[in-house]
Copies of this chain bind each other. A is one copy, B any other.
Amino acid sequence: MTEEGHPGARMAVGLVHHPVVNRQGETVTSSVTSLDVHDLARLCRTYGVHSLYIITPLPAQARLVERLIRHWTAGYGSGVNPERKEALSRVMVVDRIEDMLDNFGLGVNGAVVMATSARKGPGAVSYREARRILAGAPKAAALFGTAHGMAAQAMSLANIRLEPIPGVDDYNHLPVRSAASIILDRLLGRDE
């Protein structure tokens, strides 16, 4: 399959560093982890996701990510590791979730904004149902929270809430890198 025509080609992923909650449930801004940027970029490239937005309101953090992207897409790194260039060339940094939604054109009719969470919530949609919805959506986004997950005001920007990843019991402490991998595979992966 080529990248075009695949639901991933109409989809963006957002990695949210604000507003997220800490262990105590307070709204905070988390630090960007450069490894998250690398892992999610490669993951998005693998599944043909159009764009990865790193969402942070902190200018110093935004500059850090921009420097990382530049190094691997235009700087020295672009020559030594072409796979990384290909992955990181779809990454950009924005201040707020709303900026991502604007930038990717998610204001259109029928656009789907999916929130992910390790916590159960009312009206959560199964992965099977989400795949069906994605197939008919003109544009879509999936938002992943860092720290202890997205704050309520971030969740409220979504029109779909996905089920938590069902493990063997109620342990729900997957790293965001793992959760995003599993969720994108469930939404966009194929059986061979």
Judge whether B2 and A171 touch: CB under 8 Å. no
Assembly stoichiometry (copies):
2
* Interface stretch (choices A45-53, A68-76, A106-114): A45-53
Evaluate whether A46 and B189 lie within 8 angstroms (CB atoms) in the complex, with A2-B169, A182-B181 already known.
Answer: no
Judge whether B192 and A163 touch: CB under 8 Å. yes
Judge whether B178 and A6 touch: CB under 8 Å. no
Q: Which residues of B contact A96 (CB under 8 A)?
A: none
A residues lining the B interface (CB < 8 Å): 1-3, 6, 8, 35, 38-39, 42-43, 45-48, 83-84, 86-87, 126-128, 163, 165-169, 171-175, 177-179, 181-182, 185-186, 188-192
With A39-B177, A47-B167, A179-B181 already in contact, 15 other A-B pairs whose C-beta atoms are closer than 8 Å: A1-B168, A2-B169, A3-B169, A35-B35, A42-B173, A46-B165, A48-B168, A127-B191, A166-B190, A166-B192, A175-B177, A177-B181, A181-B181, A182-B189, A185-B185
